[in-house]
Structure 1
């Protein structure tokens, strides 16, 4: 039995290195690049924002790893947080529609807000999270309408983000189905 405990601790150690080491490496890239190129010019504020948008998902992944044994649930959280991170990062860096100063880009933060609020409403339970992420996917797909009205052709990017939200919903659905199966067997 001690082999299982040690193996589990070793496994958690690798996850922690990935979850926290990845963001640390990403923060080091611009810091190092600034030493060798004048094209990379980050301010202290840029590093703070980057640290926050990297640390929040990492902390939530850490909490999920402790709270759930379901691989599907964990994967659903990782996909949802990764999608929210990609939307935030691309929107802050260059903007999804036009440039980062285009006010229509605020709708993408609204999609993330829908994901957050609906996750709280679902009380982070797998079945409710599946519905929450499906609703978020619908909201993401709906952003194509103002994108077209603005004359922007970002449909492929919106389709990718929508697919990621749907993947998260499917993973949560699998987690809920797995929980129902385990409950029925016991």
Structure 2
């Protein structure tokens, strides 16, 4: 691998991580805006921090794990596993699906 390939790979990684951060911010804007219009959504700053860490962490992990994969099937498998992990952790934090000590209830 030459210097050009290294620079190109770092740029690609930086772009992927920047997309993850922008996407995380966009997703977190939904409850932030909803809180302005309804009392049904009532997130604390801690809720935003936890959700941001969870979304950015899973997204960053996807970018890092799939950068070397060439096939769409492999990327979909990694993405599906990470999405399932995200949904299970989110559900546990929200309603205590499994009754673990980190449950929100």
How high is the TM-score relative to the length of structure 2? 0.69
- The gaps in structure 1 that reach 5 residues or longer are 1-11, 97-103, 108-186
Q: Paired residues, what number?
A: 87
Instruction: Tell me the alpha carbon deviations over residues 17-48 of structure 1, each in whole angstroms, 9 at most, x when there is no partner.
Output: 86444432221111001111122111110000
CA RMSD of aligned residues (A): 2.4
Moved over 2 A (4+): 15-25, 104-107
Distance in 1 (CA, whole Å) between partners of 2:84 and 2:100 is 16
With over 3 angstroms needed to count, the CA separation of the structure-2 counterparts of 1:20 and 1:65, relative to structure 1, is farther
Q: Equivalents in 1 of 2:64, 2:54: separation in Å?
A: 16
- Counterpart CA distance in 2 for 1:37 and 1:72 is 41
Provide the residue aligned with 2:8 in structure 1: none
Q: 1:19, 1:61 within 8 Å by CA — same for their partners in 2?
A: no
Q: 1:91 — aligned with what?
A: 92
Structure 2, unpaired ranges of 5+: 1-11
Residue 28 of structure 2: aligned partner: 27
SS in 2 for 1:105: coil
**2:69 is the alignment partner of 1:64:** no
Matched, 1:105 2:90: no
Higher share in helix: 1
Instruction: Tell me which moved more, 30-39 or 79-88.
Output: 30-39
Contact in 1 for aligned 2:20/2:56 (Cα 8 Å): no
Kept after mapping to 1: 8 A contact 2:62/2:78: yes
Q: CA–CA distance in 2 between the matches of 1:48 and 1:19?
A: 15
1:49 aligns with 2:50: yes
Paired with 2:21 and 2:66, the residues of 1 have a C-alpha distance of: 13
Q: Quick check: which has more Rg, 1 or 2?
A: 1
Q: Tell me how far 1:106 sits from its aligned partner.
A: 2.4
